[in-house]
Structure 1
Amino acid sequence: MTDDATAPTSSTPPTGDRPTHDSPDTAATAVLADAPGGTAGAGGAPAEADDRPGWVRDTVVFLSGQTVSLFGSMLVQYAVMWHLTLQTQSGSVLALSSVFGFLPQAVISIFGGVWADRHNRKLLIIAADATIAVTTLALALLMLGGADDLWLIYAALAIRSAGAGIQTPAVSALVPQIVPTRHLMRVNGINATIQSAMMLVAPAAAAAVYASFDIVAVFFVDVVTAAIGIGLLLLVPVARVVRTAADGEDAAPVGYFDDLVGGLRYIAGHAFVRWVLALFAVVFVLIVAPSYLTPLMVVRTFGDEVWKLTANELAFSIGMLIGGAVVATWAANRSRIGMIVGSTVAFGGISIGLGLSTNLWVFLGFMFLLGLGVPFFSTPSTTVLQETVEPQMQGRVFGFVGIVMAVAMPFGMAVFGPLADRMSVELLLVLAGVALFVVVGVALALPSGRRALEDARRQTVAPADV
């Protein structure tokens, strides 16, 4: 473990692992207009956000709206999966639904990140939510009228996925505009805890509504939750990021393609951001094995009783819930890099432990630990990017994060899924764990990785974060 893992004392301001870099784009500054907060500080938070009255209220309202909206979206996710399974019992149909549910988000995220840097992020989130709600309402009305063609569901899934491609980078880039930089880890941890809680509540709620009524009722619930989420977001004042010529771009209007190329150039020239994104992508691919193949291992090794599959999901979800709470309450002043590297090493050990488990309860214990570790990887990864990337570039950077998330997991399943039909899941889990150890070793050994970590250690806290 590097020195980054050393947590500062309570009397010493944390460095936050916010590195500098040599790209010309880093000379950028941004003016935050049309909302309280003044000029932009490090990582995109207003320089005097700590002194701005109402940031706690704005954060609570924002997270509340996103939680309500997420709840409705998760209801639809489960209900559609169950509906297609029960109505068609076709693996091909489920595979197509996954394609329509993931691929549009990956494609649109390329442009969604650019839009998040060019336009009002709050309005982008509202527009995406409203489009998804209208699409869901239209599908509900069509199904009430007797239409049940699969292409209608596929089309709705594709539009919802495209909306997520616009919304996700805008949300990630908006959070540092309303949350002071030094509180980002805590707020992101709280958000991760909320999402984990939704993973426990949403399946039961979706089952209750779907069993008592039908899938159309679930669609109507989603429309209502989207409306509530939009209404709450309208109550939050959000700064508008205004790019200036100081960022190295011409003062004349810049085209979308130029912005996209600028985002690619920024990532290519920023050693630390490039390192985080590369590690994020590889870990996402390799973590597919323990997270998606464990139900198959349960059935093959421990039996196909439903309660065992349920216990497997609960162990993981409860672990994530507790992990998010721990990150929110404990990790604010801890090294982001230390948590990212440490959790990746832990994933490797846990994956090997899962593969070697011969007792169900030991296996479930490792699943709990896997869920517990997820917030220690995902939350600091998001936070360190929010703290490091300049305000006018965050949309594009998180757009590429969205692409990684949307592509890496289906890619991982395309690799590990067929292999699971040719060899044991246990062996795949062990191999995935060993691969994660290799990934950490390479990430820390590469010159770019060492430079990125050295930058993180050298970076001092910005005055605005004190």
Structure 2
Amino acid sequence: MLKNASWKQKFFTIALGQTISLIGSSAVQFSLIWWMASKTESPMLLALAGLSAYVPQFFLGPFVGVWIDRLKRKQVIIIADLFTGMIALMFSVFFFIGEPPYWSVCIVLGVRAIGNIFQTPAIQSVTPMLVPHNELVRANSWNQFMQSGSLMLGPVVGAAMYAILPMPIILISDMAGAIIAATTVAITKIPELKPQLKDSYNFISELKDGISVFLQDKKLCIVTVAAAICMIFYMPISSFFPLMSSSYFHVTVWHASIVQFGYAGGMMLCSLLISLYGTIRNKLKTVHLGLLGLSITIFLCGILPQTEFAFWGFALLCTLMGASGNFYNIPYIAYMQETIPKEKQGRAFSIMNSLMSVTMPLGLIIAGPFAEVHGVSSWFFISGIVFIVITGMSFFLIRMQDKR
């Protein structure tokens, strides 16, 4: 009982600090983008601001796992948190002096993303060092619940702060959140792994070693490739929610906000239910069920009629879509944490996060022109079909592997 309480205390101490920091970072990012949008009204700058956070992940993401596996992960998390807060603090100085150039927001968001590139896989690889294997699903459910809530609450907090506080103070608040997150990690005792790597740095060979983690586990490789292909079609979907509400169903901004909250609420509800259940025996089968749920909900969104009544069906489907997303993601992360050697998890999670991050800009490049010509609902329809085909192929290949 004491051991059970011990890991929960450590896990929730870190998770609470990261949640507070995530709410603050989400609020600051919302405020920065809203400031730039209100000042410039430039779709091009907004697009660049959105893509800027993915550029560092594309170039650095696959390599940072080598450092995470070499260094003490506790120190990596602390430094990454403080680095992100420090960038916001330094940028606040420019607002005290005068109004910074609008394009500088893109640079700040890109530099801040460097901290997240280190922090996210480090947290993911620390979790199995704190949590018993049979509790990883529950722990990841709690984590997803808090993250979903943070991402839903962050813009609300950001809007409130933007209305009543000057921009420098908003940016300084991000440093406060980073200090809280770093402190919770600092006071928590985290086991450290003995270095398993060679003394000399050879990024190429060690990167190949991280890739080999996926190649050696054929089932993980199949699911990861299938998920990456699906994510190319899925990532633009949430960006199209407002367009579906305004251009397709012709409803108000209030209706559009219901869709966004429903989607986040579905993610939170799924996380809560999985945490109550606690155990998933066949994780990869559950991953496919989650992908199938995404397939069906996305496809149905694409065939709804253009009526206000049908909008409520769309809102319900988006809620189920959010739930299906976590039903796929939680067991997928837990499977990686259970099966990949701890000394290689930094590289494995960095490669996985980089692969999934690339799907966002790639998906937008494809989806934007397609939706412009054929309509946004057509993208939902096509994406649903692709999801069904890819999910079916992945499930079939996994079954073939099980029979060998």
Scaled by the length of structure 1, the TM-score of the pair is 0.82
Aligned position for 2:273: 326
What percentage of aligned pairs have identical amino acids?
25
Contact 2:56 2:110 survives alignment (8 Å)? yes
| CA–CA separation in structure 1 for the residues paired with 2:166 and 2:227 | 38
| 2:215 corresponds to which of 268, 273, 292 | 268
Q: Shift in Å at residue 275 of structure 1?
A: 1.8
Deviation sequence 1:73-97 (CA, Å, 0-9, x none): 1112211221111111001101111
> What SS is found at the alignment partner of 2:380?
helix
- Separation in structure 2 between the aligned mates of residue 313 and residue 292 of structure 1, nearest angstrom: 10
Counterpart residue number, 1:77 = 29
Q: What is the DSSP-based 3-state SS (H/G/I as helix, E as strand, rest coil) of the residue aligned with 1:54? A: helix
Q: How does 1:141-156 map to 2 (within 5 A)?
A: 141-156=93-108
SS in 2 for 1:150: coil
Q: Find the partner of 1:395 among 337, 341, 346.
A: 346
Q: Matched residue pairs, number?
A: 400
- SS state of the match for residue 357, structure 1? coil
Which residue of structure 2 lines up, in the alignment, with residue 366 of structure 1?
Answer: 317
Distance 1:146 1:365 in 2: 46
Separation of aligned partners in 2, 1:254 and 1:211: 49
Partner of 1:41: none
Comparing 280-289 and 175-184, the one that deviates more: 280-289
Greater Cα offset, 304-313 or 179-188:
304-313
Q: CA deviation at 1:53?
A: 6.8
1:450 corresponding residue in structure 2: 399
1:284 alignment counterpart: 231
Check the 8 A contact 1:327/1:375 in 2, yes or no. no
One-letter code aligned to 1:211: A
Q: Which has the bigger relative contact order, CA under 8 A and spacing at least 6?
A: 1
- 2:280 is paired with a residue whose SS is coil
2:296 corresponds to which letter in structure 1? G
1:413 paired residue number: 364
Say if 1:210 and 1:217, in contact at 8 Å, map to a contact too.
no
The alignment's C-alpha RMSD in Å is 2.0
Alpha-carbon separation, structure 2, partners of 1:102 and 1:217: 26
Q: Which has the larger radius of gyration?
A: 1
Deviation by residue 1:199-239 (Cα, 9 ceiling, x = unmatched): 33212111110011233222111110111111111011111
Q: Which runs of 5+ in 2 are unaligned?
A: none
Deviation at 1:424, TM superposition (A): 1.9
Q: How far apart in 1 are the matches of 2:315 and 2:103?
A: 39
* Whole-Å separation in 2 of the counterparts to 1:354 and 1:389: 37
Alignment match of 1:228 (pick from 150, 171, 180): 180
Q: Within 5 A, what are the aligned runs for 1:42-441?
A: 51=3, 54-244=6-196, 253-358=200-305, 359-441=310-392
Q: Summarize the Cα distance change of 1:288–1:257 in structure 2 as closer, same or farther, 3 Å threshold.
A: closer
Q: Which moved more, 1:196-205 or 1:232-241?
A: 196-205
Q: Which runs of 5+ in 1 are unaligned?
A: 1-48, 456-466
CA contact (8 A) 1:302 1:360 kept: yes
Q: Report if aligned partners of 1:103, 1:406 keep a CA contact under 8 Å in 2.
A: no
Q: Is the 8 A contact 1:101 1:157 kept in 2?
A: yes
Q: Larger % of helix: which?
A: 2
1:153: Cα distance to partner?
2.0
Q: What are the Cα deviations for residues 245-266 of structure 1, in whole angstroms up to 9, with x where unaligned?
A: xxxx7x6645333312221233
C-alpha separation in 1, matches of 2:136 and 2:190? 16
8 Å contact from structure 1 (residues 289, 429) kept in 2: no
CA contact (8 A) 1:112 1:167 kept: no
Cα deviation 1:404-456 (Å, max 9, x = unaligned): 2221112111111111100022222111111111001211233xx3355458x
Over 3 Å counting, the alpha-carbon distance change for 1:331 and 1:357 in structure 2 is farther
Say which is worse superposed, 136-145 or 334-343, in terms of deviation.
Answer: 334-343
Question: How far 1:282 moved relative to its partner?
Answer: 1.6
| Displacement of 1:99 | 2.4
